[in-house]
Amino acid sequence: MTDIWGRRLFKAGAVWLVVMGVVHSLSLIRDLAPSNDTERQLVDLMTNYHFNLMGSMRTMGELNRGFSIAFMLAALGFGVLSMTLARERAGLLKRVAVVNLVWLAAMLGTSLRYFFAVPTTFLSVGLLIFLAAWAKLPGEAAS
C-alpha cells in the first residue's frame, strides 16, 4: 500500500482538528475575569451594552461568543467529516485534504492578523499535517 503514510497523516489531521475544537471549547466554560478597572469597564461594556445589529439587539460579548462557537464547530465538523472519510479511496482523501488546507490557510491568515500564539500554533500544526498528507497521498489515477 503506497499511500499508508498519506492515510496516517490524514487521520492524524482529522484527530488534530477534533482536538483543536475540544481545546477551543474550553474557552467557553468560564467568563472573562478582569484584572483591573479598565478591564472591568471593558467587560461591562462588552456584556451589557446592546446595539442594534440589523434589527437584533446584541452585545459585543455575544458576537464574540458566537464567532468563538462557530470556530469550534468548524474545527469539530471538519475533523469528524475527515474521520468519517478516512477509509475512502486515496484520491478522495487527497481532495478532502485540499479542502482542509484551504480553510486552515484562511483561518491561519486570520489568526496571524487578529489572534495570539495558541490558536495560530494549533492552526499551523493542522495545516502542516494536511499538507504532508496531501503530498503523500496518490492522486485519482494512482488509486
Helices (H), the chain: 4-25, 37-48, 60-85, 90-114, 117-136
| Domain count of the fold of the chain | 1
In degrees, to the nearest 5, what angle opens at C-alpha 66 toward C-alphas 120 and 61? 95
Asked if 142 and 2 touch (Cβ cutoff 8 Å), the reply is: yes
16: phi then psi, degrees, rounded to nearest 5: -60, -40
The average pLDDT across 37-61 equals 95
Name the pTM for this structure. Answer: 0.90
pLDDT digits (tens, 9 = 90+) for 125-143: 999 999 999 999 998 764 4
Write out pLDDT tens, residues 53-99: 999 999 999 999 999 999 999 999 999 999 999 999 999 999 999 99
Q: For residue 57, what are the domain limits? A: 4-142
CA distance 5 to 143: 14
Torsion of CA 124, 130, 131, 136, to 10 degrees: 150
Query: Phi/psi at 5 (nearest 5 deg)?
Result: -70, -35
- Under 8 Å between Cβ of 85 and 77: no
Q: Are 75 and 27 in contact (CB under 8 A)?
A: no
pLDDT reading at 1 higher than 80: no
* Residue with the three cell numbers 492578523: 113
